[in-house]
Amino acid sequence: MELQEYKQKRLKLRNAYNKLGELAKELGADDVVCSLQQAVKLLDEDSFKVVVVGEFSRGKSTFTNALLGKRILPAKSDPTTTVINRIHYDEQEKYWVHYRDTEDVKEISEKEFKSITAVELADAEFEGEEVYQQAVKKIGQIAYIEICHPLPLLSDGVEIIDTPGTNDLDQVREEITFQFIPQADAAIMLLSAEQILAKSEILFLKERILENDIKKIFFVVNFKDRLMDEADGERVIEAARNVLAGIVEEARLFLVSSRDALRWRRKESGEALKASLVIPNSLDDTGFTQFEASLADYLSREKGDAKLGKYQSRFQGLAESLLEGNIAPARARIGKSSQQLAQEIERLRPAVERAKQNSHSIFEHLQYALDMAAEDLTQDYRRGLERISRQVVMAVNKYDGPLQPEDVARAIESVAAPLQQQHEQDLQTEVNKRLNHEFSQVREKLMKVFRTENISTGKELVVVNRSSNLPACAMDIHAVNEDDIGMVGGGLLLGGVLLAIHIPFIAIPAALFGGNFFMRQFHEFRRNSFIADVSQQVRNRYDGIIPEQTNGFNRQLKQKFTKMTHSIEDIIENQMNRGITQLERLRDDKIAAEQDEQQERERLTVYEKQIHELMQEVVRINA
């Protein structure tokens, strides 16, 4: 799979950033240089995230290995509880373990990685439920394993995320699985040619992926090698298409043999294989060629253009910042003597220092207000989960379906999933509503400070669209008119503030009240007794998890609020310093070079022309 078109566009954009960076250096715009450098770094690191999902025994690990062209992930035939693997490019092969409740990261060897064995469901029967749950809990401490590898696909900027089974019995694994899917550029759902779309897979589609973005899904039917002939394969695809027709409009559907594709690629790479292995004549025979071509086209065109569009907008904003924040003020001060500039600097310096102090007090108050808001939002979060808990317990008490644990678990999830999705949407809306309320007050206070100190500079206005995952000097900056959005002094405007939050899904795994070990205890119980016990266990499940989830939500929210506050305060301080830096540079240039006014005008005109040419060049990249 190649992404040549995307790579060429990205290279052109990167070159434009570098050229603009040279101009920014010559103009002495250190803050813009910083923003450009950060943007280039993000552009280089911005990968296509492809998440692989599917139920047990669908061949996800073999499929991922086939996609990579190397046996990286261990493949197991029995249902297991596994860890998430994030696989991305690096010149050296490395393995890192990331833990859930700590920021500690541990490097491990390939041997250690392969020794992290999955917990097999059979252990619950032979060793007992308690032993099984202890083993699951130990694996549950791992958030994911980061795998670095110098493989060609990864070097093209693709990151593969291999997830546990969507019908995994471990709640920790399930909630992380649903965290990655919304963040993915493409989701590959593995199906089996031997069992097209089980009820649980259809439920997963309806309750999970559809809510994120159905357009990003690629349905890959695995085990082509187990079918009788080509006609059999056509019947399988037709059956899958008929089932999906009621769920997905124009599903991307492919029939592949992951086993054969992996064998073919291992042979092509020069790896010695057993003589007994049957190797396909070409990759086309495995179905991978068609699938990968479609995925590459989707990533390169639909997702690639969107990715580059972010950096094109950022480029245009930074270019406008140079035009309005550097060239325009420099041109306006032509004719002033070095002595006049020195006087202006002396007037501005104490005013800026007073503004910094007042701004710092404003942001301290903002931090306090956001901490209080976090407490209120946390209570909303907790009450929402408690409300969901009550409704799920009521649904269990009314349940009249089969008493198999998997059936009960699916019924519970069908009730809980839409409730939790709505809860997350409502809470997300409330978080952003509170943020924008607090920042609108900050905006008014800062406007007053800058008016008082008389350090606003008319046209030197830029807008900052806050993105919570970007460092301070990599904010999106766009030139706007004074009427747009609302000024935050010193040439800064704050647009709508948005913050993405993640609410883990509280799953009720079938193992909680099922499995062969546990079911033996219910054989002689009447139906009502079984339902009563399930209801109590579900209640206990929520009662046990809600406090932990609430604390985690509060911690996450406060961390994001603090990071956002500090980042924007840094931006404003940099903007205030910028005016003085520009004046000092102009003064020094006048003293050192003694340029005449016409030469200075011509110099600025040349810079202006070069910047406009770069802006047009960037616009044409996606044209």
Long-range CB pairs of 264-269, under 8 A, 24+ apart, other chains included: 265/66, 265/69, 265/70, 266/69, 266/70, 266/71, 268/69, 269/69, 269/70
Q: Are 478 and 138 in contact (CB under 8 A)?
A: no
Which residues in the chain are classed under CATH 3.40.50.300?
Answer: 46-286
- Region 199-212: mean pLDDT is 72
Q: Residue 458: which of 432, 489, 429 has the closest Cα?
A: 489
Q: How do residues 585-605 score in pLDDT, each as one tens digit?
A: 766 766 655 557 778 788 889
Handedness of CA 437, 439, 444, 449 (dihedral sign): positive
611: Cβ–Cβ under 8 A, 6 or more apart, which residues?
20, 23, 319, 322, 323, 327
- Between 162 and 346, name the one with better pLDDT: 162
What mean pLDDT is predicted for residues 105-109? Answer: 90
In single-letter form, the type of residue at position 446 comes to: L
Across the range 198-223, mean pLDDT stands at 79
- Residue 377 to residues 418, 442, 565: CA-CA distances in angstroms? 20, 20, 17
User: For residue 442, how far is the Cα from the chain centroid?
Assistant: 28
Q: pLDDT, tens digit, for every residue of 241-261?
A: 999 988 888 889 999 999 999
What is the band of 492 on the pLDDT scale with cuts at 50, 70, 90? very low
What is the reported pLDDT for 236?
94
Asked whether the predicted pLDDT for residue 439 surpasses 70, the reply is yes
Of the two residues 18 and 571, the one the predictor is more confident about is: 18
Tokens representing 263? 């064998």
CA-based nearest residue to 345, from 588, 31, 30, 29? 588
- Is 189 within 8 Å of 63 (Cβ atoms)? no
- The confidence score (pLDDT) of residue 23 equals 95
**Second CATH level (architecture) for the domain 46-286:** 3-Layer(aba) Sandwich (3.40)
Tens digit of pLDDT for each residue in 118-134? 554 444 445 555 665 66
Which residues sit opposite 492 in a β-bridge? 462
Q: How far is CA 249 from the centre of its chain?
A: 25
